[in-house]
């Protein structure tokens, strides 16, 4: 309780002592970050937009190049604004209040800077950025809660999150009443044959229904029922199945394609990450490429597709019809394969994507109220969480994101003096020191680039 009460206490530390000890002028610190962050942000978005252009698989036109260039400049301006206005708002709030409070060290100025920055970015990119920061911030908030013993992780917790979320998305995919880019990814896993809406063919007047449509629902009262379903799965397909081959070959070959694609993707990523080592002829091929970790993504993708299609066909044979609800048990069973590739980023992305789509559907039906610019406020909140964690509780932040904050700060984050905030009982300076050691971030210069020291 003593530690919690200190969170409301003021702290008489100047912004110079905290975040720009190399200069006594706030305007110099702000301008320095603006100048030093711009090259990094420009490089990041040049790569992102160039990759996006290549993924179109066609020769870009002059209009495409012009649109890409403008996109690079606008997104760079967005990220640079997010960086330098944090210092701007931080110094402004500190000078207005005359001291720091727990919330004004990072959260409040970051919320304002993020809200300012997201206004600069294209509206079409705002939901994607919000999903990304929500993903990272959710993990950070969980680790913060764990460090306080408020929650405890459970075994295969990410598999439970992934399974419940992917089942919702697959159900919506089968319904076919909502469109989203995530369904293009699902199509790779489960195929276009499983896409909705489900059509119920009307029999032509005077035409006898096919024998398969006259079959009753399987009751599993005798062994013959099980044998009948098994025979139909192996040798044929149900009339409601939209694939052209037998259910058996549909499931097997449907699993092989994602397996090969997943392995190929893993190999390509490892080759790209070790390009310098390969060029120097020092690549340990057996250790880096020819090991089980290379197969994990492929095993997950292939097994997921195989199980989903198998269960879907099995349910169609059992109930003698096709329904979108079949996607839920099929998705839950198939998600067991996520244990072969347990990734928090993937699980949280699927969770937030499912929540976003459900929220949109709720708004369309009038169940959920529409809040103007809600996505912008959500982005600002989650980014403020990440800045707060990065400064106050560094070990609760994903290491890669800490490196990102270090980069957009113009290599200044490691120069912040955080020892004064240890009074809040979070061991702020100690956590930051440990994070810097683990990432091997070394303070090479007394002053940062564009320090404008005076």
pTM: 0.84
Structural domain of 385 = 2-153+371-439
What pLDDT was estimated at residue 46? Answer: 92
Domain assignment present for 37 = yes
- For residue 11, the 8-state DSSP code is B
The answer to whether the CB of 62 falls within 8 A of the CB of 69 is no
Shared domain for 136 and 168, answered yes or no, is no
Shared domain for 326 and 393, answered yes or no, is no
Q: Can the peptide bond before residue 197 be classed as cis, meaning omega within 30 degrees of 0?
A: yes
Gap between the Cα atoms of 95 and 30, Å rounded? 15
Residue after which a domain boundary falls, among 323, 341, 359: 341
Q: For the segment 8-17, what is each residue's pLDDT rounded down to a tens digit?
A: 567 788 888 8
Encoded tokens for 61: 């036109």
Shared domain for 240 and 258, answered yes or no, is yes
Residue 433, number of CB atoms within 10 A of its CB: 15
Grouped pLDDT means (10 residues each) for the chain, 454 residues: 54 87 90 92 90 77 88 94 94 92 93 95 91 94 92 89 94 86 85 77 47 49 60 68 83 86 80 69 65 80 91 87 90 92 90 92 89 92 95 93 92 89 89 92 79 71
Would you call 216 exposed, middle or buried from its count of C-beta atoms within 10 A (0-12, 13-18, 19+)?
A: exposed
What pLDDT was estimated at residue 434? Answer: 93
Q: For the segment 386-428, what is each residue's pLDDT rounded down to a tens digit?
A: 999 999 999 999 999 999 999 999 888 988 989 889 888 889 9
Bridge partners of 11? 100
Shared domain for 78 and 164, answered yes or no, is no
Shared domain for 321 and 178, answered yes or no, is yes
Shared domain for 69 and 115, answered yes or no, is yes
Domain assignment present for 352 = no
Q: How many domains does the chain have?
A: 2
Domain assignment present for 207 = no
Q: Which residue has the tokens 């099929």?
A: 330
Shared domain for 135 and 41, answered yes or no, is yes
Shared domain for 17 and 117, answered yes or no, is yes
Contacts 24+ apart (CB under 8 A), 431-438: 431/393, 431/394, 431/395, 431/396, 432/391, 432/394, 434/394, 434/395, 435/394, 435/395, 435/397, 435/399, 435/402, 438/399
What pLDDT was estimated at residue 37? Answer: 92
């Amino acid at each position: 309780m003593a530690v919690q009460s200190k969170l409301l206490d003021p702290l008489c530390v100047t912004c110079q002592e905290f975040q720009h000890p190399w200069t006594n002028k706030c305007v110099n610190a702000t301008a320095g970050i603006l100048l030093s962050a711009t090259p990094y942000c420009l490089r990041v978005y040049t790569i992102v937009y160039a990759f996006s252009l290549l993924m179109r698989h066609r020769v870009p036109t002059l209009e495409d190049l012009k649109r890409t260039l403008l996109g690079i400049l606008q997104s760079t301006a967005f990220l640079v604004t997010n960086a330098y206005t944090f210092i701007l708002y931080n110094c402004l709030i500190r000078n207005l209040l005359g001291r720091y409070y727990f919330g004004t060290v990072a959260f409040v100025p970051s919320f304002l800077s993020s809200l300012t920055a997201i206004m600069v970015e294209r509206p079409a990119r705002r939901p994607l950025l919000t999903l990304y920061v929500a993903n990272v911030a959710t993990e950070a908030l969980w680790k913060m809660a764990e460090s306080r013993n408020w929650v405890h992780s459970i075994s295969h917790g990410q598999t439970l999150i992934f399974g419940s979320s992917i089942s919702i998305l697959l159900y919506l995919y089968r319904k076919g009443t909502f469109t989203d880019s995530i369904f293009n990814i699902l199509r790779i896993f489960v195929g276009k044959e499983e896409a909705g809406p489900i059509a119920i063919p009307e029999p032509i007047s005077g035409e006898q229904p096919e024998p398969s449509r006259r079959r009753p629902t399987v009751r599993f009262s005798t062994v013959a029922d099980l044998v009948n379903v098994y025979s139909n799965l192996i040798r044929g397909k149900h009339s409601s199945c939209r694939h052209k081959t037998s259910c058996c070959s549909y499931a097997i070959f449907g699993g092989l394609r994602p397996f090969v694609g997943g392995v190929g993707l893993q190999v390509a990523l490892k080759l790209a990450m070790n390009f310098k080592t390969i060029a120097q002829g020092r690549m340990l091929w057996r250790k880096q490429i020819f090991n089980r970790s290379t197969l994990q993504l492929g095993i997950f993708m292939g097994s997921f597709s195989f199980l989903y299609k198998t269960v879907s066909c099995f349910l169609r044979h059992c109930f003698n019809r096709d329904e979108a609800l079949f996607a839920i048990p099929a998705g839950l069973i198939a998600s067991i394969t996520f244990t072969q590739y347990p990734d928090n980023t993937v699980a949280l992305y699927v969770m937030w994507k499912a929540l976003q789509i459900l929220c949109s559907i709720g708004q369309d039906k009038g169940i959920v109220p529409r809040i103007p610019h809600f996505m912008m406020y959500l982005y600002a909140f989650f980014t403020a969480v990440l800045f707060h964690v990065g400064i106050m509780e560094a070990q609760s932040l994903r290491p890669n994101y800490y490196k990102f904050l270090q980069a957009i700060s113009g290599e200044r984050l490691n120069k912040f003096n955080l020892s004064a905030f240890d009074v809040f009982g979070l061991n702020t300076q100690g956590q930051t020191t440990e994070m810097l050691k683990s990432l091997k971030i070394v303070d090479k210069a007394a002053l940062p680039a564009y320090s404008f020291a005076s």
